[in-house]
Amino acid sequence: MSSSVRSIRVACCQLHPILGDGRANAERTRDAIKGAVEAGARLIVLPELATTGYVFDSEDQARTAAQESEGALQTWAEEAARGDALVVGGFAELDAAGDLYNAAAVVDASGTLAIYRKTHLWGTERELFTAGEAIPPVVDTRVGPIGVGVCYDMFFPELTRGLALRGAEIIVMPTNAPRGSNGAGVRDNIGVSIARAAAHVNRVFVAVCDRWGSERGVEWVGRSLIADPEGDLIAEPPGDREQVLFADCELALARNKRWAGTSNDAFDDRRPEHYELD
């Protein structure tokens, strides 16, 4: 990362992917990146499974969709190159062994910097995808160290804590948050509280990029947001439509773990011997 970068513009592109239409989604994500780059964004976040859609009715369909969208990351790199930008977006990854992952790629002009495979799989994802086996990455980039998780991962505060402890200045979360399909457990705004809490207690920026639209009876909440290290929303959950959120983020602020105006430090004050987590 460059110490000369004071503030970067972060964009969350709350798109509506089309289930199983790899070509349409490649175009949609490319257009969104293009627009965000033109608006000055240096870090552009796309939803979970932005290249394929989500509600597959079979593993075969998911596999075919993954194959048909394989070129998307290359188009992301090409668009990123126009603005020296980073793109973090969700996609269905089919690896050489034929295993399918719910993954997120970190892409810049040079190509793919990192791929993260979702650690915590939700619902029927477990029938389609293999869970990731690597520690969620903190990717060193020209704009700063970026921590990556996907959707349900955020519901494990240990994961966001780990990313922050390993130096992430911003945690990005490609997300597909379903409305109502899981009953009371996924309310419209509990994700907002969880994201704000993760930002505040870790003193990091958090960017959640949700999707929009519906698929096979599943409606998506549209609760994208960007929070600063205080946990304050600097880009609000738009809800109820496709749109792009922007916020200018001075990522280096996240290196200071003191709560503003105090001598208390969110990391130094930890007492791991008192938590008994395992």
Q: Is 30 in the site for a copy of itself (CB under 8 A)?
A: no
Cα–Cα dist 94/273, whole Å: 41
Q: Is 136 in the site for a copy of itself (CB under 8 A)?
A: yes
β-strand partners of 160? none
Q: Is 278 in the site for a copy of itself (CB under 8 A)?
A: yes
User: Which CB atom, from 63 or from 187, has the smaller least distance to a copy of itself?
Assistant: 187
Binding residue for a copy of itself, selected from 6, 166, 216, 255, defined by CB under 8 A: 166
Of the chain, the end-to-end C-alpha distance in Å amounts to: 35
Cα–Cα dist 205/200, whole Å: 9
Starting at the edge strand found earlier in the chain, the sheet holding 86-94 runs 111-117, 100-108, 86-94, 41-45, 8-14, 243-249
Binding residue for a copy of itself, selected from 197, 218, 252, 253, defined by CB under 8 A: 197
User: Which CB atom, from 56 or from 76, has the smaller least distance to a copy of itself?
Assistant: 56
Asked if residue 90 lies in contact with residue 132, where contact means CB atoms within 8 angstroms, the answer is no
Catalytic residue among 48, 68, 79, 125: 48
Q: Shortest gap between Cβ of 25 and a copy of itself (angstroms)?
A: 26
**Is 118 assigned a catalytic role?**
yes
Hey, what's the torsion of the CAs at 37, 21, 154, 250, to 10 degrees? 0
Binding residue for a copy of itself, selected from 159, 204, 206, 235, defined by CB under 8 A: 159
Cα–Cα dist 78/220, whole Å: 29
**Is 257 assigned a catalytic role?**
no
Binding residue for a copy of itself, selected from 21, 35, 156, 248, defined by CB under 8 A: 156
Alpha helices for the chain (secondary structure H): 22-38, 59-68, 72-81, 125-128, 157-165, 190-202
Q: Is 217 in the site for a copy of itself (CB under 8 A)?
A: no
Binding residue for a copy of itself, selected from 5, 70, 187, 248, defined by CB under 8 A: 187
**Is 151 assigned a catalytic role?**
yes
Q: Is 152 in the site for a copy of itself (CB under 8 A)?
A: yes
Asked if residue 74 lies in contact with residue 102, where contact means CB atoms within 8 angstroms, the answer is no
DSSP state of 241: S
Binding residue for a copy of itself, selected from 71, 157, 241, 255, defined by CB under 8 A: 157
The residues assigned a catalytic role are 48, 118, 151
Name the site residues for a copy of itself (rule: CB under 8 A). Answer: 119-120, 122-123, 131-132, 134-136, 152, 155-159, 161-162, 165-166, 181-187, 190, 192-194, 196-198, 200-201, 230-232, 259-264, 266, 269-272, 274-278
